[in-house]
Structure 1
Amino acid sequence: MNLPLITDWHFYAVAIPAVLMLGISKSGFGAGFGSLAVPLMALAVTVPQAAAILMPLLLLMDLLGLAAFRKDFDMKFLRFLIPFGLVGTVIGALLFKTLDARVVAGIVGVFTLLFLAQRLLFPPKPDSPPPPKWVGALLTVTSGFTSFVAHAGGPPISAYVIPLRLSPVKFTATMAFFFFVINLSKWAPYAWLGLLDLRNLATSLVLLPLAPVGVWIGVRIAKRISPVWFYRLLYVGMLLTGCKLLWDGISIR
């Protein structure tokens, strides 16, 4: 019996680079390029279908990222982040069928670009205090919500974590663990919403070998890059993500 997977080459033309970028982001630049995956795939399929196809790939990428950075998590920080992230996923699950994914994309894009503009136009001083915890809680809930809706949880939480100036490896490890928990929590709601059908899962299986390739590239970069270039690349990723999400939000289809 043939699996009912997607066979349109236009889909794979955008899905392959999307999966590679997502793999790199899971192990090296969690705030940047990975959030482009769903918007890029949405050029060929709907946003919910793109999100569903990426679920098995995210699980494998998360496990590989955890293995690569298993000694570098900031567990105290994670105990603060994870509960708020899970609140966001619950909100996303409850509102999923009533929300227009383009509106969510546009909102995330606007806030991503505003954060980036603030960081570049008014760079923080070395002795600047970290953002207050209530801001972190709000941004982490937003991250869980946007992660559920469009796997775009990177920009909101990065707006909180980047000013904390963690080392590249600790930043990457902590984000890897956070999104492992968040992505794992989405499986039951995605099944409840009917998104994990045989066609989407079969397509995921075809794309699955690309997952370790992207993670391997990201791990090598994260462990060798200087903090200055690490955050510069994060900003580039956030710029591209913000522009693409904003475009998705305002474009008429």
Structure 2
Amino acid sequence: METEIFVVAAIAVLFAGISKGGFGGSVAFVSSAILAIVMKPSDAVGLMLPLLMLMDVGTLRPFWKQWDSTQAKILILGGLPGLLLGAALFTVIDDDMLRLLLGVISLAFVLWRIWPRTVVSDVTFSSRTGFLAGAVSGFTSFVSHAGGPPAAMYLLPQGLGKTRYHATVTLVFWVINALKFIPYAVLGIFTYQTLLADLFLAPIALLGVWIGVKAHHIIPEQLFFRVTYICLACTGAKLIWDALT
């Protein structure tokens, strides 16, 4: 891996670790989007999966058993058909289509988060809606590691509280990311170069998780997410431009 690409990868992985460790992980997929600018998108998602799995393990311990088991089961079971659909898409998609998909998902997430809307605190969703959110989450997670937003749309109105929400998301994607590993290997998404890079990036991933866990109670969420939205908007626009041109 070239030095410039490795530096970009290190920054992206550190950011993903912070998101995973302290802020629910819903924006950790920005790392894949950033990497897709400097390398093949399929290599980018292949590079990130082992690191995301490592981050999941690092994040589970400080939030152990603080999750909502019922909500986690709903999302995980719903995610299974989404994973299958994502694997099927990967057999026919090319790099430009994947760049376009990553870019659209990035911009759609930013628009969803900044679009003015009325928040009703006592609204909750049914388990059927949870299964649907899980299916969408499984699909977007497989193709771009962007499973967080659909899961967040379902979980946020459930009134879980900051820490319980974060612990539930952590558990859900620990399972979903583990389930993705074998299909990724079968589809040839992993390469020798990405796995070798993972060995060097693993300490950075764990450092990011450690920073995120500490920042969970220190850094205002609004500040963290505002910076993230700017990064996602610029990255998404760049990916769409590259895909179309």
Normalising by structure 1, report the TM-score: 0.85
The match for 2:159 among 165, 172, 191 is 165
The match for 2:186 among 180, 192, 197 is 192
State the alpha-carbon separation in 2 of the partners of residues 20 and 172 from structure 1: 18
Partner residue, 2:56: 62
State the alpha-carbon separation in 1 of the partners of residues 226 and 193 from structure 2: 36
Supply the RMSD in Å over aligned alpha carbons. 2.2
Which amino acid in 2 is paired with 1:212? L
State the alpha-carbon separation in 1 of the partners of residues 67 and 211 from structure 2: 20
Instruction: Note the C-alpha offset of 1:156.
Output: 2.1
Q: Deviation digits for residues 54-87 of structure 1, max 9, x if unmatched?
A: 2221121111111121131111111111011122
Partner residue, 1:108: 105
Q: Deviation digits for residues 194-243 of structure 1, max 9, x if unmatched?
A: 12232221111111111110000111122x148xx436644653564355
The match for 1:178 among 159, 172, 179 is 172
State the alpha-carbon separation in 1 of the partners of residues 21 and 86 from structure 2: 25
Instruction: Note the C-alpha offset of 1:166.
Output: 2.4
Partner residue, 2:82: 88
Instruction: Note the C-alpha offset of 1:89.
Output: 1.1
1:244 and 2:235 correspond: yes
The match for 2:118 among 123, 139, 142 is 123
Partner residue, 1:152: 146
8 Å Cα contact 1:32/1:235 also seen in 2: no
Judging changes above 3 Å, is the alpha-carbon distance between structure 1 residues 126 and 151 closer, same or farther for their aligned structure 2 residues? closer
Matches within 5 A, 1:43-62: 43-62=37-56
3-state DSSP of counterpart to 1:98: coil
Structure 1: 5+ residue stretches without partners: 1-5
State the alpha-carbon separation in 2 of the partners of residues 231 and 106 from structure 1: 23
**Alignment length, in residue pairs?**
241
Judging changes above 3 Å, is the alpha-carbon distance between structure 1 residues 37 and 95 closer, same or farther for their aligned structure 2 residues? same
The match for 1:78 among 67, 72, 75 is 72
Judging changes above 3 Å, is the alpha-carbon distance between structure 1 residues 235 and 159 closer, same or farther for their aligned structure 2 residues? farther
Which amino acid in 1 is paired with 2:176? I
1:38 and 2:29 correspond: no
Normalising by structure 2, report the TM-score: 0.88
3-state DSSP of counterpart to 2:91: helix
Instruction: Note the C-alpha offset of 1:23.
Output: 0.6
State the alpha-carbon separation in 2 of the partners of residues 115 and 185 from structure 1: 28
Runs of 4+ in 1 over 6 A off after TM superposition: none
Judging changes above 3 Å, is the alpha-carbon distance between structure 1 residues 41 and 178 closer, same or farther for their aligned structure 2 residues? same
